C-alpha cells in the first residue's frame, strides 16, 4: 500500500465559520486544507439579505491570514419573509451560491427559520427557475416527534412534498444521519444530493451517552444507532457522486458545550481530512476519497473542481491540537477515538 496520496484540493459543502473572534480563530483551520466552502448563514442575527451576505463575505476575507487562499461560497438564510427578487439578484451577481432552509427551531440559531412551508413557495419556485440550490436541515421540529425520528419524518412531511411541488429545484439534503435518507437520495432523480459529515461516519449514539454524557459528540441531527452509521459509511465509500463531504464543522466555545444545556456541534475542521483518510484506508477505499472530498460536490453545484492538490502522507500517529484557542475561549477539536496517521501538507 502506498504511503503517499495526492489529493485534488477539497471543498467543504457545509461549514459554520461564525463571526468575530471565533471566525478569526477557526478560519485558518479550514483554509489550510479546503479551497472553498459553503458557509452557513445562522449567525445572530442570521444572514438573510444579499447585502448581509456581502458584508459577511467581506468579514471572512478580512479574517483570512496573509498567504492563505480560500473562497467562501455564501448562502442566504430562508425566512417566511425572504424576497424572491433579492435572492435572484444576489445569485445573479455570483455572491450567493445557495439558500439554506432551517425548519424554525430545529437547531442553533434557527428561530427565524420556516414554520409554514407554503410561505416560501414563491422563493423556491424562483430558485428552481434560476438554478439556485436549496440546502436543507432535514429535521422536523414537532415536539411530538422523537428526536431520533425527526429526519425520517422530515423526508415524508416536508422534503418530498417540496420536491414534488417545485420541479427542477436542486436540493442538498445536508448532514444525513440515517439509512432511510441515503436510500431516499439514491432513489431520487439527479436533482437531489446529500452531504455527509466526518463525525457521522465515526460516531453513533452510544458515543454520546454511554459511560457519561459527552457534550463534544452532541450535534444535530443527533447521531443515530450503529446500523445507520454503517449505512452512511457505505454511501460515502460507494463512489456514488450524489454523496459528498459537508463537514458541518460547528465551533462552540467549551463553556457553551460543557453546560447544563450544551450547544449542538462538532468541530472537525482541523482533523477532517486525516480522519477521512484513516477511514477510507481502513475500508480499502482510498481511491474513492478524492471523489467524496474534491469532485462530487463541485459537480453537483456546477463548479469546476479545484486545480491545486494536497499531499497526504502516512506515518507515525499525529499529534494534532486538542483545542483551538479563541479570544472567547477554547474550542475543542473532535476526537475520533482512534489514532490518525495521515499528515496533510500543501
Planar angle of CA 302, 305, 311, nearest 5 degrees? 155
Q: Is 39 in the site for ligand DOR (CB under 6 A)?
A: no
Which residue among 30, 75, 79, 107 contacts ligand DOR (CB under 6 A)? Answer: 107
Binding to ligand DOR (CB under 6 A) within 135-194 occurs at: 137
Q: Is 41 in the site for ligand DOR (CB under 6 A)?
A: no
Q: Is 151 in the site for Zn ion (CB under 5 A)?
A: no
Query: Which of ligand DOR, Zn ion, none does 75 bind, CB closer than 5 to 8 A by kind?
Result: none
Task: Clarify whether 248 is annotated catalytic.
Answer: yes
Q: Is 12 in the site for Zn ion (CB under 5 A)?
A: no
Q: Is 224 in the site for ligand DOR (CB under 6 A)?
A: no
State the number of binding residues for ligand DOR (CB under 6 A). Answer: 12
Q: Is 90 in the site for ligand DOR (CB under 6 A)?
A: no
Nearest to 209 by CA among 222, 194, 196, 200: 222
Query: Which of ligand DOR, Zn ion, none does 107 bind, CB closer than 5 to 8 A by kind?
Result: ligand DOR
Whole-angstrom distance, CA of residue 248 vs CA of residue 255: 20
Please give the C-alpha separations between residue 322 and each of 44, 271, 273, 334, in angstroms, as whole numbers.
Answer: 27, 10, 16, 8
The active-site residue out of 160, 248, 316, 335 is 248
Q: Nearest approach, Cβ of 172 to ligand DOR (angstroms)?
A: 13
End-to-end CA distance of the chain: 22
Q: Is 248 in the site for Zn ion (CB under 5 A)?
A: yes
Strand-pair category, 309-314 with 342-345: antiparallel
Whole-angstrom distance, CA of residue 136 vs CA of residue 158: 10
CA dihedral of residues 132, 269, 69, 134 (deg, nearest 10): 0
Residues found near ligand DOR in the complex (CB under 6 A): 16, 42, 107-108, 137, 219-220, 248, 250, 263-265
Amino acid at each position: 500500500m502506498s504511503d503517499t496520496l495526492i489529493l485534488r484540493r477539497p471543498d467543504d459543502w457545509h461549514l459554520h465559520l461564525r463571526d468575530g473572534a471565533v471566525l478569526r480563530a477557526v478560519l485558518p483551520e479550514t483554509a489550510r486544507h479546503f479551497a472553498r466552502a459553503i458557509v452557513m448563514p445562522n449567525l445572530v442575527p442570521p444572514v438573510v439579505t444579499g447585502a448581509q451576505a456581502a458584508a459577511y463575505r467581506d468579514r471572512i476575507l478580512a479574517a483570512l491570514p496573509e498567504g492563505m487562499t480560500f473562497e467562501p461560497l455564501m448562502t442566504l438564510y430562508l425566512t417566511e419573509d425572504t424576497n424572491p427578487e433579492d435572492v435572484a439578484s444576489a445569485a445573479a451577481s455570483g455572491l450567493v451560491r445557495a439558500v439554506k432552509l432551517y425548519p424554525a427551531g430545529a437547531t442553533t440559531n434557527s428561530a427565524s427559520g420556516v414554520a409554514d412551508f407554503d410561505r416560501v413557495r414563491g422563493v423556491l419556485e424562483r430558485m428552481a427557475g434560476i438554478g439556485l440550490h436549496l440546502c436543507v436541515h432535514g429535521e422536523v421540529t414537532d415536539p411530538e416527534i422523537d428526536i431520533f425520528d425527526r429526519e425520517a419524518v422530515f423526508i415524508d412531511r416536508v422534503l418530498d412534498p417540496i420536491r414534488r411541488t417545485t420541479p427542477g429545484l436542486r436540493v442538498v439534503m445536508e448532514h444525513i444521519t440515517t439509512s432511510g435518507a441515503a436510500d431516499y437520495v439514491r432513489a431520487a432523480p439527479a436533482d437531489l444530493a446529500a452531504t455527509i459529515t466526518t463525525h457521522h461516519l465515526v460516531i453513533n449514539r452510544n458515543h454520546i451517552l454511554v459511560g457519561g454524557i459527552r457534550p463534544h459528540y452532541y450535534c444535530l441531527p443527533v447521531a443515530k444507532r450503529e446500523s445507520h452509521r454503517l449505512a452512511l459509511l457505505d454511501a460515502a465509500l460507494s463512489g456514488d457522486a450524489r454523496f459528498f463531504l459537508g463537514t458541518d464543522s460547528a465551533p462552540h466555545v467549551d463553556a457553551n458545550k460543557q453546560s447544563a444545556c450544551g450547544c449542538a456541534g462538532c468541530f472537525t475542521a482541523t482533523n477532517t481530512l486525516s480522519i477521512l483518510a484513516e477511514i477510507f484506508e481502513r475500508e480499502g477505499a482510498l481511491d474513492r476519497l478524492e471523489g467524496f472530498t474534491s469532485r462530487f460536490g463541485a459537480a453537483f453545484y456546477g463548479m469546476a473542481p479545484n486545480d491545486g492538490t494536497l499531499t497526504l502522507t502516512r506515518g507515525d500517529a499525529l499529534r494534532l491540537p486538542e483545542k483551538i484557542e479563541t479570544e472567547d475561549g477554547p474550542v475543542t477539536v473532535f476526537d475520533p477515538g482512534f489514532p490518525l496517521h495521515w499528515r496533510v501538507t500543501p
